[in-house]
Amino acid sequence: MLFLGCISSAPRDSCILTFDVEMKESGSNRAQRRRGVLQRIAVFLPWRVLAWLRKNSPQVFQFLCYGTRNVNDREHWDAAWERHGKDGFRATGEVRELRERVLQAVSPRATVLDVGCGAGETMALLRDNKGCVCSGLDIAPSAVAAVITKGMQAKVATLPEIPYEDDAFDAVVCTETLEHVSDARAVLREIRRVLKPMGVLVLSVPDGAVDLEDAHVHRFSSGRLRGLVQKEFTLQHMERIHCESPSLLVIAQRSVDRQPR
């Protein structure tokens, strides 16, 4: 999101980190002092080093710039939805090709869980076009409240926790969410748990080859994403969605007789 800091590609002597993010006033003075020290260190690092960390080690980059290995906490996303998410973020409001793939992959009248549902645009699309019964999950209370106003169920939770019962859903949709979560494998385990046997996972993440979003803690290559998914699911389809900000799309299945690796 644009409200996070960014790095210029100009030489170091004309480049300093720009911090647009509002510093959180909550937390201990000790944590605030640590954040300030780390930011001062980051300012004096060569811009090429920071650019490399941003691309190849985003958690280290976030630790230096923001004093945490993952900025994606509840307060951050609730504020983001309040300030920028009135009409939906990229994952649900802008990528037409991605939404079309979701519609194609999910069977009519399926029970569906949207993990990282945002304001519920994808849920409403599945309900209105496929007759699906949709439930949602998001870290931001303001986003969940928006889903409820659309007449659908949603819960506030922080991944990898998924507060739904085992074998509850025919399909799970998780678009542009996994890159924000520290333990991506744990999220996939939880998704597998709530899927029915032979249930379908529709998953997308930004293509790590071009992704430079500061809020992302993973840069997924196609090989890394494939390997991660195959530890928990049977991979059925994988493709690159070509759009302004390309994504990697996976369709996978929870096989009855297959055990996680």
Pick from 78, 62, 81, 68: nearest CA to 27: 68
pLDDT at residue 148 tops 90: yes
Distance from chain centroid for Cα 228: 15
Tokens of 21: 């993010």
Pick from 90, 56, 67: nearest CA to 17: 67
In DSSP terms, 111 is beta-bridged to 133
C-alpha to C-alpha distance for 137 and 114, rounded to whole angstroms: 6
What is the pLDDT, as a whole number, of residue 7?
Answer: 37
Q: pLDDT digit string (tens) for 210-236? A: 876 777 787 889 999 999 999 999 999
| pLDDT average, residue stretch 198-202 | 97
pLDDT at residue 58 tops 70: no
Domain spans in the chain, listed from the N-terminal domain onward: 12-69, 90-253
Q: What residue has token string 């037409």?
A: 96
CATH number of 90-253: 3.40.50.150
Q: pLDDT digit string (tens) for 12-48? A: 333 333 333 333 444 455 555 555 544 555 555 655 7
More confident residue, 172 or 44: 172
Name every residue whose Cβ is closer than 8 Å to that of residue 59 and which is 6 or more positions away in sequence: 69, 70, 182, 217
Whole-prediction pTM value?
0.72
C-alpha to C-alpha distance for 67 and 44, rounded to whole angstroms: 16
Residue 5 · residue 18 · CB < 8 Å: yes
